[in-house]
Amino acid sequence: MKPSVIITAVLITGTLLIWLLYGNIDLEVIRWSKARQDTWIRPVSAFLTEFGIITGWLVGAMLLWFYFRYYRKNSYWAARVRFFFISVAATGIAAIPLKLLFGKARPSKLFDENLYGFQWFAPTDAYGLHGFPSGHTTTAFSVATALALIFPRFAVLFYLGATLVGLSRIGVLYHYPSDVVAGAMLGTVLTLLLYRCKKITFA
């Protein structure tokens, strides 16, 4: 399937899901998660959510690139690692202005101040209003998409892992389902768009 078709499908599906989830479903799911913080959900989510931290992926990719580029002198794998690094970095950067623009309150604001929804143009230091999209989920789906393009045979496993990271953000009460869907959409679409750029693609 062509990347352009996948991009269109993800954008349409993601937008519809966000529209459906925003409001009652967001609130019901996060309250369900809150009520189960004393169960296995919290520790498992805390473990899985670590895989959405961008730093480790970027540092690892940088080291691999130097290894393939200068030690092994393997341009084939160096190009693929470069693409991976650029994709993950670009999607991570792209999430920042969107968080500030939408200013969506995190679940902590709901439980502490009964505040939910988009506040728009959040200050840079207002962490509690930086919930949309989920940055960890954006990274996870960028990683999954880049790896799926490099190793298409294992695409299902990569996206399963990314989905678990997204769900973990709900489990640790940092994001609502709509935030997670937005992050998944951003990470997937932007990585596919970058793949179409001939200057960085490995094809």
* Topology (CATH level 3) of domain 3-195: Vanadium-containing Chloroperoxidase; domain 1 (1.20.144)
Query: Would you give the distance in Å from CA 160 to the centre of its chain?
Result: 13
Alpha-carbon distance of 25 to 17, in angstroms, equals 11
Alpha-carbon distance of 144 to 138, in angstroms, equals 10
Q: Are 169 and 184 in contact (CB under 8 A)?
A: no
Strand partners, 104: 118
Tokens read off for 173: 């009460």
Whole-prediction pTM: 0.96
Per-residue pLDDT of the chain (203 residues; tens, 9 = 90+): 777 889 999 999 999 999 999 999 999 999 999 999 999 999 999 999 999 999 999 999 999 999 999 999 999 999 999 999 999 999 999 999 999 999 999 999 999 999 999 999 999 999 999 999 999 999 999 999 999 999 999 999 999 999 999 999 999 999 999 999 999 999 999 999 999 886 677 76
Q: Are 165 and 143 in contact (CB under 8 A)?
A: no
How many other C-beta atoms are found inside a 10 Å radius of the C-beta of residue 128? 18
The residues near 120 (Cβ < 8 Å, ≥ 6 apart) are 101, 102, 103
Listing DSSP states for 52-93 in one string gives G-HHHHHHHHHHHHHIIIIIS--HHHHHHHHHHHHHHHHHHH
Q: Exposed, middle or buried: residue 92 (CB in 10 Å: 0-12, 13-18, 19+)?
A: buried
How many other C-beta atoms are found inside a 10 Å radius of the C-beta of residue 182? 29
Specify the pLDDT at position 199.
Answer: 66
